[in-house]
Amino acid sequence: MRIDYDVVIVGAGAGGLYTALNLKDDNKILIICKEDLQSCDSMLAQGGICVLRDENDYDDFFNDTLSAGHFENRKETVDIMIKSSRDIINNLLDLGVRFDKNSDGSLKYTKEAAHSKPRICFHNDTTGKEIVETLLSKVKEKSNITIMDYTEMKDIIVEDNVCRGIIAENKFGEIINIYADNTVLATGGIGGLYEHSTNFPSLTGDAIKIAKKHNIELENLDYVQIHPTSLYSEKSGRHFLISESARGEGAILLDKNGNRFVNELLPRDILSKEIYKQMEKENSKYVRLSFEPVSKEVIKNHFKNIYNTCLERGYDITKEPIPVVPAQHYFMGGIHVDINSKTSMKNLYAVGETSCTGVHGKNRLASNSLLECLVFAKRSAMNIDSGKGE
């Protein structure tokens, strides 16, 4: 079966949806996703999305990002991301995203590890869900955009080193050749390849495998982020994340005797190592996270999702510490892209976690990924519309 579109977008997370919304309405667009529309990591984002608070924050935001990334970041893309951040947040507000606000109507900011100041916009502890549901409702209003769920990309169509679309299998097991002038890969992370991960198991780095097969340039494939605090469970499958903003708001890590053993706000990679060391010392499968320093009001409002999920699993975080363990969380490497999210193959773009813009260097600063995703998704759309796909 053959179908034809102007743009095919593989992935319906924040990256795929925002690309579609930023393309001009005269494009005939197809978005596909592997499972249902809910099964994307963007839905799971808890902490929030970074923004440049004001011009005086530029140097700090830049340095925080580079310092977390071990100074291996691409400075040009970090600069673009930071300078674009306010427009992205304003656009999300215009689209209807309900970020938490102060009584005077200004945005509330929270803090996560390795940020020198609070600069993260959030919606309770379900920011990703709020953003994705808003983007999805806007996409569904567009008559030029079609979504096919349970449709899996199996390969790309390549002619003379130019991408002409993708080959996919739909929910009926039919193979479809989807031809498009431009193709955008937005397939997310690689957590499904790991035993312990905070990601959806269906996210298995498919676009990266396909890119490798076609000699498309890849970058930093060994840069995998381990999140310090997922809720410990004996069960396999997706681990529930305990957002870093919990530690940003005061939660502390304890050893088996109930004593603090580390600075909880160290960058993720360093803190994960310290936790592993402590687990080895205690011969334990986890350490403990205590919400005692966080007020009950903050727990029940800001951390409503964490509070309720822990309660369902038998832990009342207002009363007792919870067992936490590091887990695979994010992939800094991926398909190499330029400042407009173009890959090394003509007419092929990559956005979001599957791409490598170089923004994160060796280690991602918390809450920079949703921002990176949206900034470069928009740039890919603008580039496609300006006809510079080649």
Ligand X SMILES: Cc1cc2nc3c(=O)[nH]c(=O)nc-3n(C[C@H](O)[C@H](O)[C@H](O)COP(=O)(O)OP(=O)(O)OC[C@H]3O[C@@H](n4cnc5c(N)ncnc54)[C@H](O)[C@@H]3O)c2cc1C
- Contacts with ligand X by CB under 6 A lie at 10-16, 32-35, 39-42, 44-49, 127-128, 152-153, 186-189, 198-199, 203, 206, 241, 330, 352-354, 367-370, 373
Closest Cα to residue 84, out of 368, 387, 352? 368
| Minimum separation from the CB atom of position 333 to ligand X (A) | 13
Q: What is the 3-state secondary structure (H, E, C) of 49-116?
A: EECCCCHHHHHHHHHHHHHHCCCCCCHHHHHHHHHHHHHHHHHHHHHCCCCCECCCCCECCECCCCCC
- Answer for the pair 364, 332: CB distance below 8 angstroms, yes or no: yes
| Minimum separation from the CB atom of position 203 to ligand X (A) | 5
Is residue 288 part of the annotated active site? The answer reads no
- Answer for the pair 30, 178: CB distance below 8 angstroms, yes or no: yes
Both tokens assigned to 195: 């035993």
| Minimum separation from the CB atom of position 275 to ligand X (A) | 17
Nearer to ligand X, 191 or 389 (CB): 191
Looking at 74, 268, 364, 379, which residue is catalytic?
A: 268
DSSP lists the bridge partners of residue 32 as 10, 148
- Answer for the pair 3, 170: CB distance below 8 angstroms, yes or no: no
Residues across the chain: 390
| Minimum separation from the CB atom of position 245 to ligand X (A) | 8
In this chain, which residue has its C-beta nearest to ligand X?
13
Nearer to ligand X, 209 or 281 (CB): 209
Nearer to ligand X, 33 or 262 (CB): 33
In the block, tokens 């979001």 appear at 352
Nearer to ligand X, 30 or 32 (CB): 32
Amino acid (one-letter) located at 106 = S
| Minimum separation from the CB atom of position 43 to ligand X (A) | 7
Nearer to ligand X, 51 or 241 (CB): 241
Active site positions, annotated:
268
